[in-house]
Amino acid sequence: MLLKKTFYKLFKSQKEYNNIKHKLKDEEKISLFENNYEKLITDIQENIDKKKELNFFHSGPIGDLIYSLAIIKEISKSHKCNFLINLNKKFNHPYHKHPGNGVLINDRMYNFILPFFKSQKYLNSVKKYENEKIDINLDLFRELPWNNAFNTPRVFFHITGEQTNLSEPYAFVEDHPTIKKRIVIQRSFRFRNIYINYKFMKDFESPLFIGMEDEFYDLKEQIPNLELYIPKDYLEIAQIIKSSKFYVGNQSSCFALAEAIKVPRLLEGCPDSPYVQPVGPNAFDFYYQSHFIKWFNYLNKI
């Protein structure tokens, strides 16, 4: 392939070379798919068609686990669905200030999220992966020869061959017993929008932060009256989000929860990595400051 490209570059016009290069790139992708992934996709479809109980395999991170629930919930209407969470898979690229210390999900994180996933009644079982037979490998979304920079839940549509209505909730929790009707915020150090700031929120009563302490103190520099709450586990985070007046945050596992539960929500869109788009009523994203303030005020009034 490299020799072909070199030959064409040396002996063809620039226009001919560009056309040939494009064709060769497509041929390379087709070959990669046919040799490595086509059978895997076909086998997944056959498993869904023929089996009544399915093992879903996923290595995370947490936000992607949550987004995959949309299609698992749909498939659970006709199948028993078991969720096998794979621990300690290493990142294949740098992930700024991720709490997993180089892995997508570690044991501490697994214990923190387990109560939430176990609370989802359409999941037949949730456990660590321990070499069980895999029927649907959801990790394929990281490997397939495609550009997966589209709304994250949909990548799992194209692995399973199934579809669902993303405007409907796909995670369910009770209200929090004491924390209610607060403006809830979480802003990770990843997927930030460099064009906006949160300083205007200092004029609103006691917004509540539910992320990591270092993330909290970073944002508190912009919102002096920001309060920190440290939940006991991920189920409590989900309950706080469910009971919020509305939720504000960038791409993170907490926004994934807000999206799955379908509370009023506002996403700080990431210009460089637009992998998440809100779907449903009272769900907005923004890239610029005036739009941030506009939709924040709108959600604060409803």
CATH for 244? 3.40.50.2000
Read off the amino acid at residue 233: D
Domain of residue 104 covers: 50-160
pTM here is 0.90
Confidence at residue 98, expressed as pLDDT on a 0 to 100 scale: 58
- CA 31 – CA 28 distance, rounded (Å): 5
- CA 201 – CA 280 distance, rounded (Å): 25
Q: Residue range 200-229: average pLDDT?
A: 95
pLDDT digits (tens, 9 = 90+) for 221-233: 999 999 999 999 9
Answer whether 245's CB lies under 8 Å from 263's CB: no
Confidence at residue 188, expressed as pLDDT on a 0 to 100 scale: 95
Q: Could you tell me if residue 9 is inside a domain?
A: yes
pLDDT digits (tens, 9 = 90+) for 234-252: 999 999 999 999 999 999 9
Same domain, 68 and 111: yes
Q: Could you tell me if residue 223 is inside a domain?
A: yes
Q: Could you tell me if residue 175 is inside a domain?
A: no
Confidence at residue 206, expressed as pLDDT on a 0 to 100 scale: 82
Same domain, 297 and 188: yes
Same domain, 57 and 152: yes
Q: Residue range 167-175: average pLDDT?
A: 98
Lowest mean pLDDT among 9-13, 99-103, 259-263: 9-13
Same domain, 121 and 204: no
Same domain, 58 and 143: yes
Q: Could you tell me if residue 83 is inside a domain?
A: yes
pLDDT digits (tens, 9 = 90+) for 107-118: 999 999 999 999
Same domain, 208 and 276: yes
Q: Could you tell me if residue 263 is inside a domain?
A: yes
Same domain, 75 and 32: no
Q: Residue range 105-134: average pLDDT?
A: 98
Average pLDDT over the chain reads: 92
- CA 193 – CA 250 distance, rounded (Å): 8
**Domains identified in the chain, total number:** 3
Same domain, 218 and 296: yes
pLDDT band (50, 70, 90) for residue 87: very high
C-alpha dist (Å) from residue 169 to 4, 128, 185: 51, 25, 20
Same domain, 228 and 285: yes
Q: Residue range 255-276: average pLDDT?
A: 95
pLDDT band (50, 70, 90) for residue 25: confident
Share of the chain above pLDDT 70, in %: 90
Same domain, 137 and 191: no
Q: Could you tell me if residue 154 is inside a domain?
A: yes
